[in-house]
Amino acid sequence: MMDWDGFNFNEPYMGEKIDKINDVILPMQYINFMKKHNGGEGDIGETWLILFPLETLQEINDDYCMDEFLPDHIVIGTNGNGELYGIDKNGDYFNVPEIIEKEYISLLGNDIEKLPDKINELWRQHSN
């Protein structure tokens, strides 16, 4: 089981309350995680993970035109090499290539603490 040991977190988020991006309500567990860590980046095993800071999420989602390409989904991170990670309206984490088409979504559960494990499982499946 992977944990966040190799991940370099940012400083805690101290800004204004952010509880949703577009029409996606952010899960409370994610908000609490971000208040403590506010994103960061690092090697999580099978790939690199960059979690965007909370205060940049709206701009990033606007840049990716998420409302247009994947309504009810937001981007929260990337591997920096063509893969995006996000949260859907049900509070589930997902992976989608930057091509951003619904049929390419892979669900990754609803627990931010297990996100590195779920991403690593996905990468191992794709490499087999």
pLDDT of residue 111: 95
- Give the chain's residues under pLDDT 70: 1-2
| Per-residue model confidence as pLDDT tens digits over 46-71 | 899 999 999 999 999 999 999 999 99
**Which amino acid does the sequence have at 86?**
G
pLDDT of residue 28: 97
* Burial label, 68 (beta-carbon count in 10 A; 0-12, 13-18, 19+): exposed
pLDDT of residue 2: 56
The count of other CB atoms within 10 Å of the CB of residue 12 is 10
pLDDT of residue 1: 46
pLDDT of residue 5: 81
Domain spans of the chain?
19-52+65-127
52's tokens? 């965007």
Taking CA 24 as the corner, what is the angle to CA 22 and CA 30, rounded to the nearest 5 degrees? 120
93's tokens? 């984490």
The count of other CB atoms within 10 Å of the CB of residue 36 is 11
